Amino acid sequence: MIKFFLMVNKQGQTRLSRYYEHVEITKRTMLEAEVIKNCLSRSKDECSFVEYKDFKLVYRQYAALFIVVGIDQTENEMAVYELIHNFVEVLDKYFSRV
C-alpha cells in the first residue's frame, strides 16, 4: 500500500505531497526532510529502492525533479517504479514539456 507521494526539486523543496495515512504536520515536515536528504544524497549508480524505518522508499529522478513514493514492506518495488514513470508520462501528455 502506498503511504505517501512526494515531488521534490534538487534543492530539497517539496513541490507536491500527498499522504494516504494520517500524519501530523510536525511529523510530516520531519519525515519529508529525512526522506529528501536520504534520496538526494544517493548517486545515480545506486538502486532507487531504499529501506527507511518501517517502510520502503521508491524514487525516480526526472531532470531536476525527484518523485518519491513511500510504500509498506509487502508492496512490489518494480510496480511502484513503473507507476512513477506512468504518472510522469501522463503529466507530459497533459502539460506539454513536463
- What are residue 38's phi and psi, to 5 degrees? -65, -45
Alpha-carbon distances of 9 from 1, 6, 39, 86, rounded to whole Å: 25, 10, 11, 19
Which residues span the domain enclosing 23? Answer: 2-95
For the segment 33-45, what is each residue's pLDDT rounded down to a tens digit? 999 999 889 888 9
Indicate if the pLDDT at residue 98 is higher than 70: no
Indicate if the pLDDT at residue 89 is higher than 80: yes
For the segment 11-25, what is each residue's pLDDT rounded down to a tens digit? 999 999 999 999 999
Give the CATH number for residue 7. Answer: 3.30.450.60
Check residue 96 and give its pLDDT.
78
Residue of higher predicted confidence among 98 and 36? 36
Number of domains composing the chain: 1
